[in-house]
Amino acid sequence: MKKTEKKTKEVNFSNLIITDLDGKELKFDVSKTLGNHIYQTTGDLGMLEVAQTIYKKGEVELTEQVKTGLTEVVNNPQFPFLAVVKKKLLEELEG
């Protein structure tokens, strides 16, 4: 019997497309800020590695563990991003 591999996706934090209230698409590169924020605030060695990958490559493979960690980071009230960016990040993590 073959093992069933869970499919993962890559999330590109250097190219978030957000639609404003007028319907205009805006491109945000949050990779450096997100990676740096996680790097400076995490106590988890796994998330430290994720932070470095996001900072250096702009994207990360979204495993369940990474998804959970990033969702916790984004949902933290101290997370320094606008609500519209937080919303888009959470959509990317869920999608």
| Domains in the chain, number | 1
CA-CA-CA-CA dihedral for 76, 63, 92, 81, to nearest 10: 30
pLDDT value of position 1: 47
Alpha-carbon distance of 48 to 26, in angstroms, equals 29
Alpha-carbon distance of 46 to 39, in angstroms, equals 11
Whether 14 maps to a domain, the answer reads yes
Where the chain has pLDDT below 50, the residues are 1-2, 4-5
Above pLDDT 90, what percent of the chain?
88
pLDDT value of position 54: 98
Whether 19 maps to a domain, the answer reads yes
Whether 21 maps to a domain, the answer reads yes
Q: Which two tokens stand for residue 26?
A: 């805006």
pTM for the full predicted model: 0.86
Whether 85 maps to a domain, the answer reads yes
Alpha-carbon distance of 69 to 15, in angstroms, equals 20
